[in-house]
Amino acid sequence: MSDLRLAWRNIWRNKRRTLLTAASIFLAVFLALIVRSLQTGLFDNLIQISIQSYTGHIQIHKKGYWDDRTIDNTIVYNDSLTAVVNRLKNVEITVPRLEYFALASSGMQTKGVIIIGTDPVKEDSLTRLSSKMVKGLYLDRTGRGVIVAGGLAEFLGLHTGDTLILIGQGFHGVSAAGKFSVRGIIHLPSPPLDNQVVYMNLPTAQDFFSADNRISSLSISLKKPDDIGMTMGELTSAVNLSKFEVMSWDQLMVEIMQQLKVKTASGMIIISILYLIVGFGIFGTVIMMTNERTKEFGVMVSVGMQKSRLAMILVLEMVFIGLTGALSGLAAALPIMAWYNFHPIKLWGAMAQAYLSYGIEPLLPLALKWGFILSNFTAVMVIVLLTCIFPVRRVFKLKVVEALHK
């Protein structure tokens, strides 16, 4: 009779209580895993959307650009830079962009806008911008026609073929002004962007801002996003870091990441409360198990069982109950997580519309990551082990004669 078997038999002395305790652990693990899987899936998806709709996985700027984002903090877009980037195997697409503010006016209306000068073809292959066109034509490589975001066009009363006047400040304080014909209207899913973005091709923007050959950012999308760490490493060692800054998507989306962290944390708090409740349940079981067996403990120590061994058996009992609950919770949640990971949930309603307007299929895959599975499992087992402090202390403090008297 090994201690393991003894412990296993002991937990079935009160079947109902053991099953109830294990069931509560099962439920907590199951719910926690599903919630975390949904949340992580959703957040990963949001990040994915941001990456695909604008930032790319990595961006290169002039050193210090990201802090003030001015037209003076731009880099020269030349062969030596593209050569460095294109040499990396993991690089899929690079998109050069020149961005800055200007004033736009049409008729009586004037508004501050963001001008994004970009390579139409590369931009489209990263963000599928052309799929968001609602009127007119997408950008071409050479013409001076611009496309205007829907909300802005409405505010300025613009239609395709109208003329837009842009006034601003160019590179090194040169004044910038020009007339542009509206080639098309585009719908951008994010309202702030939809109310202020004007797209033009890169040469037109460079000409407008008197910033020949300059770009503010080079967005890079990767073939294998998971290898971003390696690619970041290669890039930072390949470029001159006293001139350039290389930022990964999580550094570029600090605000979004911050928000997601807050949401993740609030999800974790709910899960923690759930675990706390379950923890008290387990504690109750442990107290009952200990109290009703005091006399038996007395007999065992009397006839020669070391207290450490007895304590070990009690810990094993709780570990068995914990494992029964946690493993069955895992066994129930895993197939669901795996199924919806491979067959993502089809979104509907407004959510689906939002996805579609990004040019992304409205599908939400559940996340299936060992990280949170393991951490939930560990959390439960740690709780179980913490509740064991009570019986272990009891055993070590046990006075045999008093215990036998019970």
Q: Which of 122, 263, 307, 369 forms a contact with other proteins (CB under 8 A)? A: 307
How far apart, in whole angstroms, are the C-alpha atoms of residue 143 and residue 166?
16
Neighbouring residues of 353: CB distance < 8 A, sequence distance ≥ 6: 362
Nearest approach, Cβ of 13 to other proteins (angstroms)?
6
Enter the DSSP assignment of 143: -
Does residue 400 touch other proteins according to CB under 8 A?
Answer: yes
The structure tokens 């990964």 sit at: 248
Q: Which of 4, 13, 109, 371 binds other proteins (CB under 8 A)?
A: 13
Identify the CA nearest to 126 among candidates 227, 223, 239. 223
Residues in the chain: 406
Minimum distance from CB of 299 to other proteins (Å)? Answer: 6
Residues 309-348 that bind other proteins (CB under 8 A): 309
Any contact of residue 291 with other proteins (CB under 8 A)? no
Interface with other proteins (CB under 8 A), residue from 108, 226, 303, 335:
303
Asked if residue 300 binds other proteins (CB under 8 A), the reply is yes
Nearer to other proteins, 124 or 296 (CB): 296
- Find all residues with CB under 8 Å of 85, minimum gap 6, and list them: 60, 91, 94, 218, 220, 235
Please tell me whether residue 382 binds other proteins under the rule CB under 8 A: no
Q: Which is nearer to other proteins, 13 or 223 (CB)?
A: 13
Q: Does 16 bind other proteins (CB under 8 A)?
A: no
Measured from the CB atom, is 14 or 375 closer to other proteins?
14
Choose, by CB under 8 A, the member of 116, 282, 301, 337 that binds other proteins.
301
CA distance 237 to 249: 18
**Other residues' Cβ atoms within 10 Å of the Cβ of residue 153:** 27
- DSSP H or E segment with residue 254: helix 254-291
179 within 8 A of 167, measured Cβ to Cβ: no
Q: State yes or no: residue 15 binds other proteins (CB under 8 A).
A: no
Binding part of the chain for other proteins, among 3-11, 15-23, 134-142, 226-234 by CB under 8 A, reads 3-11
Closest to other proteins by CB, 263 vs 307, is 307
CB 160 within 8 A of CB 136: yes
Residue type, 134: V
User: Is 305 a residue that touches other proteins (CB under 8 A)?
Assistant: yes
Coil, helix or strand at residue 229: helix
Which residues contribute to the site for other proteins (CB under 8 A)?
1, 6, 9-10, 12-13, 295-296, 299-307, 309, 400-401, 404
